[in-house]
């Protein structure tokens, strides 16, 4: 499992942006507060990242493909390409791990959506990837419906349809003297604010399924039942 901490994103700019949906929208945690192009299905984001960053994730995009190019100055360090679909399922997010850069660098993200659509994205997260143990088998995934449902006087239901988001319940086992307290530091820093998680990169399906921008709305729980290791249990509510 990877958590982005600390975040290293300085600025995000775009080669095209609707004035009502600027690239600066990508710097907050509101996935539905999007950046949009001026009408094109293609666009390039340029992210400036501080020294030490080695992870970038994009959430809430309608892109079908993405190419990530890491540069120091004008010199390309590496490039990776992504297709945001697998087995007939299309994802609105992707996660890219790259070799850590020991200086300020730029990340160019070229995105392309389906022809005829207007390209957009919601949030960019960039920073240091802190690696924890893979979650124990039996990760609980469910959905939370954020719709408003009220019963009217005649018994009928008034429904205002809103987003349905993913929820996860995970347990990991970590060395108590190091990673347990590092996880604690991360929670103390973010609290219920949105955090970028790659829950696992070790299961036999697309890693996009396990990329989550989510809130730990409730504090994690630790169980110190082993001599030098502890279990950490936590819940995630996907951000919107």
Q: What one-character-per-residue DSSP string does the chain give?
A: -EEEEEE-EEEEEESS-BTTB-GGGGGSS-TTS-EE-SS-SEEEEEEEE-TT--EEEEES--EEEEEEEEEETTEEEEEEEEESEETTEE-SEEEEE----SS-EEEEEEEEE-TTSPPEE-EEEEEEEEE-PPPPS--EEEEEE--EEEE-TTSPEEEE---EEEEEEEEEEEEIIIIIHHHHHHHHHHTTSEEEEE--S-SSS-GGGGEEEEE--S--EEE--SSSEEEEEEEEEE--
Lowest mean pLDDT among 61-75, 81-95, 96-110: 81-95
Q: Are residues 101 and 200 in the same domain?
A: no
pLDDT digits 0-9 by tens, 223-234: 998 999 999 999
pLDDT at 201: 77
In-domain check, residue 27: yes
Q: Confidence class of residue 206 from pLDDT cuts 50, 70 and 90? A: low
Residue where a domain stops, chosen among 108, 129, 150: 129
Residue where a domain stops, chosen among 97, 129, 161: 129
Average pLDDT over residues 64-72: 98
Q: Are residues 166 and 91 in the same domain?
A: no
**Cα–Cα distance for residue pair 8/41, rounded to 1 Å:** 28
pLDDT above 80: residue 203 = no
Q: Are residues 11 and 87 in the same domain?
A: yes
Q: Are residues 6 and 97 in the same domain?
A: yes
Dihedral of CA atoms 4, 10, 12, 13 in degrees, nearest 10, equals: -160
pLDDT at 87: 78
**What's the total number of domains in the chain?**
2
pLDDT above 90: residue 82 = yes
Q: Confidence class of residue 47 from pLDDT cuts 50, 70 and 90? A: very high
Q: Are residues 124 and 173 in the same domain?
A: no
In-domain check, residue 167: yes
pLDDT at 33: 97
* Residues 170 and 135 sit within 8 Å (Cβ to Cβ): yes
Q: Are residues 109 and 62 in the same domain?
A: yes
pLDDT at 205: 61
Q: Are residues 7 and 107 in the same domain?
A: yes
pLDDT at 138: 85
Q: Are residues 49 and 71 in the same domain?
A: yes
Q: Which domain holds residue 100?
A: 2-129
Q: Are residues 12 and 78 in the same domain?
A: yes
Residue where a domain stops, chosen among 129, 149, 183: 129
pLDDT above 90: residue 27 = yes
Query: In whole numbers, what is the pLDDT of the chain averaged over residues?
Result: 95
For the record, the structure tokens of 179 come out as 């990673």
In-domain check, residue 75: yes
pLDDT at 221: 97
In-domain check, residue 41: yes
CATH number at residue 16: 2.60.120.260
pLDDT above 60: residue 204 = no
Q: Are residues 14 and 71 in the same domain?
A: yes
């Amino acid at each position: 499992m990877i958590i982005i901490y600390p975040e290293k994103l300085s600025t995000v700019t775009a080669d095209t942006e609707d004035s009502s949906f600027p690239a600066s929208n990508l710097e907050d945690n509101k996935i539905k507060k999007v950046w949009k192009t001026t009408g094109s299905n293609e666009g390039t984001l340029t992210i400036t990242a501080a020294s030490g960053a080695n992870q970038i994730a994009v959430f809430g995009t309608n892109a079908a493909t993405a190419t990530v190019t890491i540069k120091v100055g004008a010199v390309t360090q590496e490039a990776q390409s992504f297709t945001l679909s697998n087995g007939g399922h299309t994802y609105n997010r992707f996660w890219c791990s790259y070799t850590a850069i020991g200086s300020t660098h730029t990340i160019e993200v070229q995105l392309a959506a389906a022809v005829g659509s207007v390209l957009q994205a919601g949030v960019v997260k960039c920073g240091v990837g802190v690696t924890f143990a893979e979650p124990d088998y039996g990760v609980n995934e469910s959905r939370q419906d954020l719709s408003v449902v009220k019963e009217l006087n005649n018994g009928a239901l008034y429904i205002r349809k809103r987003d349905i988001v993913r929820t996860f319940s995970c347990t990991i086992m970590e060395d108590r003297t190091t990673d347990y307290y590092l996880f604690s530091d991360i929670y103390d820093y973010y609290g219920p604010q949105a955090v970028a998680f790659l829950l696992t990169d070790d299961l036999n399906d697309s890693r996009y399924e396990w990329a989550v921008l989510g809130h730990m709305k409730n504090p994690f729980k630790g169980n110190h039942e082993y001599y030098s290791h502890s279990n950490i249990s936590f819940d995630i509510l996907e951000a919107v």
